[in-house]
């Protein structure tokens, strides 16, 4: 199993103020650079950063290509993942995406992971005029053509349902051939299976349990073998899962340091992705964090405690059945990758046993402190990462090779 960090660049407003401190955005941008540089020096494999727009407090990551470019000059080995680029043309013209991904691949000496997706928040869809019912078709058409732009000299042009352009040579071309590894955002099981058929890695944003992951892994790799219809010119078979992350000398201290991070992550995500709240958000005026704190006792605060160190049966008993609501519930839990070295060794081994390819840690979220995140990254990198790296080479890679027997399409996975 490989490991990465995940960034939304969350920035809650002060609960008792209308706006942020003037230095707040500068601070979180530079803290992310420090955190990823440390992770790179310790051997972490990936960093993934989202692209979101207008989602105040939940995500200030509207220009991830600039953060990735900065990281390309501050790091040496860590893979730089777009997790994800919004590819419906209303957000980003496909040619511009191809140009930016290729330029970053050159700057980073071939370390880019190209994740794509659609988003579902009314703030973003409405802000860019993207029609909700057509967004998945837009994503597929644009993403397919982006890979063609990165591999064709010249690109012959395209007359599509959602965008058209004449023949042009889209430059530069990426260093990785035929293009960087492809991923897609997958908060639902069905999207993970679409990823398999299209030859893409699945960025699992549903906070799946080890048992769910095991079932999905077997079905995912079966579909790669039997129903592959690649969207690109090389496939990237792989399953990644998100987990909230914080370490300390005791489980209780790790929970304390985790603070409102997981609960605010869940609350603000649900706030923007629920049309009843996100669709009525007052830009520049609302204070999502203050609202979160006001409701904490009855909602997010209770959820944050629910997962702590309860049994799997106790946790499952309180879960919603809807997949999206279940993901929000799990995001709010303080468990899994929160605790001591021994706690994480024990819980992460369960994912390893189910053949997870990549575990992605959500460390920077809510009101967590930079120094606690840095300490957690260092502790994990020194005390746990080496043993998982060794087993990835000796156990997971042979298992993957067995699963991919008979697949004759080119593979350009970094896993």
Tens digits of per-residue pLDDT, 328-338?
Answer: 555 555 457 99
Terminal C-alpha separation, the chain: 9
Q: What is the pLDDT of residue 407?
A: 97
Longest dimension (CA), the chain: 61
DSSP 393: I
| Region 91-110 average pLDDT | 98
Give phi and psi for 109, each to the nearest 5. Answer: 60, 45
Domain boundaries, the chain: 2-403
Compute the distance between CA of residue 99 and CA of residue 97 in angstroms, rounded to an integer.
5
Q: What is the pLDDT of residue 304?
A: 43
Q: Which of 47, 23, 45, 24 is nearest to 35 (CA)?
A: 47
- Burial (CB count <10 Å: 0-12, 13-18, 19+), residue 182: buried
Between 299 and 62, the more confident residue is 62
Task: Yes or no: say if 40 and 80 are a contact pair by the CB < 8 Å rule.
Answer: no
**Percent of the residues in the chain that have a pLDDT greater than 90, as a whole number:** 87
Task: Yes or no: say if 195 and 164 are a contact pair by the CB < 8 Å rule.
Answer: no
DSSP 155: B
Give phi and psi for 316, each to the nearest 5. Answer: -60, -30
Q: Give tens-digit pLDDT for 133-170.
A: 999 999 999 999 999 999 999 999 999 999 999 999 99
- Burial (CB count <10 Å: 0-12, 13-18, 19+), residue 175: middle
Those residues whose C-beta lies under 8 Å from the C-beta of residue 381, and which sit 6 or more positions away, are: 38, 39, 41, 42, 43, 44
Those residues whose C-beta lies under 8 Å from the C-beta of residue 405, and which sit 6 or more positions away, are: 225
Whether the predicted pLDDT of 64 surpasses 60: yes
Q: Where on the phi/psi map is residue 248: left (φ > 0), alpha (ψ -120 to 50), or beta?
A: beta
| Cis ω before 104 (30° cut-off from 0) | no
Tell me the DSSP string of 164-190: EE--B---SPPSSSS-SPEEEEESSHH
Q: Give tens-digit pLDDT for 181-225.
A: 999 999 899 999 999 999 999 999 877 889 889 999 999 999 999
DSSP 56: T
| Predicted TM-score of the model (pTM) | 0.93
DSSP 118: -
Those residues whose C-beta lies under 8 Å from the C-beta of residue 314, and which sit 6 or more positions away, are: none
> Does 3.40.630.10 match the CATH number of domain 2-403?
no
Q: What is the pLDDT of residue 307?
A: 40
Q: What is the pLDDT of residue 328?
A: 52
Whether the predicted pLDDT of 239 surpasses 60: yes
Q: HSE, CB side, 13 Å, CA atoms: give it for residue 43.
A: 14
Mean confidence (pLDDT) of the chain: 92
Compute the distance between CA of residue 216 and CA of residue 195 in angstroms, rounded to an integer.
12
Those residues whose C-beta lies under 8 Å from the C-beta of residue 252, and which sit 6 or more positions away, are: none
* Two tokens, residue 304: 């944050």
In the chain, count H helices and then E strands: 18, 11
Q: Report the interhelical angle of 24-42 vs 370-383 (nearest 10°).
A: 10
Q: What is the pLDDT of residue 152?
A: 98
Compute the distance between CA of residue 341 and CA of residue 246 in angstroms, rounded to an integer.
10
């Amino acid at each position: 199993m490989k490991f990465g960090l995940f960034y939304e660049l969350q920035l809650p407003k002060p609960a008792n103020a209308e706006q942020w401190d003037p230095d707040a955005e500068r601070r979180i941008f530079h803290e992310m650079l420090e955190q990823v540089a440390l992770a790179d020096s310790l051997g972490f494999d990936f960093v993934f950063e989202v692209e979101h727009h207008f989602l105040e407090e939940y995500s200030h990551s509207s220009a991830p290509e600039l953060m990735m470019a900065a990281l390309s000059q501050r790091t040496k080995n860590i893979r730089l993942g777009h997790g994800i680029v919004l590819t419906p043309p209303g957000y980003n013209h496909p040619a511009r995406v191809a140009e930016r991904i290729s330029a970053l691949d050159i700057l980073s000496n071939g370390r880019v992971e190209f994740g794509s997706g659609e988003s579902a928040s009314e703030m973003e869809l409405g802000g860019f005029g993207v029609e909700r019912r057509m967004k998945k078709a837009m994503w597929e058409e644009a993403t397919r053509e982006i890979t063609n732009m990165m591999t064709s000299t010249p690109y012959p042009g395209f007359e599509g349902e959602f965008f058209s352009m004449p023949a042009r040579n889209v430059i530069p071309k990426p260093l990785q051939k035929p293009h960087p590894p492809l991923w897609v955002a997958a908060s639902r099981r069905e999207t993970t299976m679409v990823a398999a058929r299209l030859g893409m890695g699945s960025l699992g944003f549903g906070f799946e349990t080890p048992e769910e992951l095991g079932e999905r892994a077997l079905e995912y790799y079966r579909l790669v073998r039997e129903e592959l219809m690649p969207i690109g010119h090389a496939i990237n078979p792989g399953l990644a899962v998100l987990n909230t992350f914080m370490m300390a000398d005791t489980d209780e201290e790790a929970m304390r340091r985790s603070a409102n991070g997981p609960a605010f992550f869940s609350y603000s995500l649900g706030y923007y992705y629920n049309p009843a709240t996100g669709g009525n958000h007052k830009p520049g005026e609302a204070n999502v964090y203050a609202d979160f704190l006001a409701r904490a006792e009855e909602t997010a605060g209770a959820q944050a405690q629910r997962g702590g160190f309860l049994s799997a049966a106790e946790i499952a008993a309180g879960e919603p059945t809807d997949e999206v609501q279940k993901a929000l519930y799990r995001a709010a839990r303080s468990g899994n990758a929160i605790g001591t070295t021994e706690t994480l060794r024990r819980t992460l081994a369960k994912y390893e046993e189910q053949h997870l390819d990549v575990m992605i840690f959500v460390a920077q979220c809510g009101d967590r402190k930079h120094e606690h995140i840095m300490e957690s990254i260092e502790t994990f990198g020194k005390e746990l990462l080496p043993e998982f790296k060794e087993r990835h080479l000796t156990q997971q890679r042979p298992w993957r090779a067995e699963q991919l027997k008979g697949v004759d399409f080119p593979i350009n996975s970094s896993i």
